[in-house]
């Protein structure tokens, strides 16, 4: 499922990233790679604060839709 549909506070595993080459490269530079553990910490007005590899990152709904995750 896309990250924007994930439940807040639950750990997920990144399965793949979608989008064009530049968008996938941008997500990879933010540590969204296959096998990484990700958790949504908070969400409001289409923006998400996520924890990935012991870092907190803020992303928008458009980027969250490109990250496909699966429950651990």
Q: Are 64 and 4 in contact (CB under 8 A)?
A: yes
Q: What is the pLDDT along the chain (72 residues), one digit of tens a residue?
A: 999 999 999 999 999 999 999 999 999 999 999 999 999 999 999 999 999 988 999 999 999 999 999 998
- Model pTM greater than 0.95? no
Nearest to 6 by CA among 45, 42, 36, 53: 42
Question: How far apart are alpha carbons 17 and 62 in whole angstroms?
Answer: 12
Place of tokens 């296959």: 34
CA angle, corner 52, sides to 46 and 56, nearest 5?
65
CA angle, corner 31, sides to 29 and 32, nearest 5?
105
pLDDT value of position 72: 81
């Amino acid at each position: 499922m896309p990250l924007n549909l994930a439940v807040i506070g639950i750990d997920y595993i990144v399965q793949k990233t979608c989008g064009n080459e530049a968008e996938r490269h941008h997500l990879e530079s933010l540590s969204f790679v296959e096998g990484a553990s990700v958790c949504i910490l908070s969400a409001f007005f289409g923006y998400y604060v996520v924890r990935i590899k012991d870092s907190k990152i803020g992303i928008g709904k458009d980027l969250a839709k490109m990250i496909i995750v699966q429950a651990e």
